[in-house]
Every structure is written in structure tokens, then in C-alpha cells.
Amino acid sequence: MSGRAAPFYCPYCGDEDLRPSEQGHGTWECGACNRAFRLAFLGLLARGVAEGTPHDRI
Ligand SMILES: [Zn+2]
């Protein structure tokens, strides 16, 4: 594996007919709705690993 994250469903139409796009790293094309999109990792959340649930915080 290359370590890339692969989407299972198109975020726009929900179809599974996805294929890697030639437009660059992390880009995908949906064969059902003909949309192209990019997946990107933004970074870790500042809160880190939370203990408990958000409801515990006031
Ligand atoms: Zn689609």
C-alpha cells in the first residue's frame, strides 16, 4: 500500500464508482456524476485524544 486514503463513496452522489484522477495526488473522479474532487489530510485536531465525551466539559 502507498499509504493513501481511498474514499469508498463519492461525497457528492454517494456512488462507489470512484477511480484515481490524473489531476494530482489525492484526486479522484466519480464515474456516476462525473465530478472530480481531492481528499486532503488537514492535520490532527488540537484537542488531541479526548478522555470521556464532550458532554463532560462545561
Ligand atoms: Zn459522484
More confident residue, 46 or 57: 46
Distance separating alpha carbons of residues 56 and 58, to the nearest angstrom = 7
Whether 32 maps to a domain, the answer reads: yes
31 Cα to the center of ligand 1, angstroms:
7
Question: For position 22, what pLDDT does the model report?
Answer: 94
For cell 486532503, the residue is: 40
Whether 19 maps to a domain, the answer reads: yes
Question: For position 51, what pLDDT does the model report?
Answer: 66
Q: Minimal CA–CA distance to 33: which of 3, 9, 6? A: 9
Tens of pLDDT, residues 3-41: 567 899 999 999 999 999 999 989 999 999 999 999 988
- pTM (two decimals): 0.66
pLDDT higher than 60, residue 2 = no
9, 16 contact by CB (below 8 A): yes
35 Cα to the center of ligand 1, angstroms:
6
Question: For position 47, what pLDDT does the model report?
Answer: 82
Whether 51 maps to a domain, the answer reads: no
Beta strands in the chain (DSSP E): 18-20, 27-30, 36-38
Number of domains composing the chain = 1
For cell 463519492, the residue is: 10
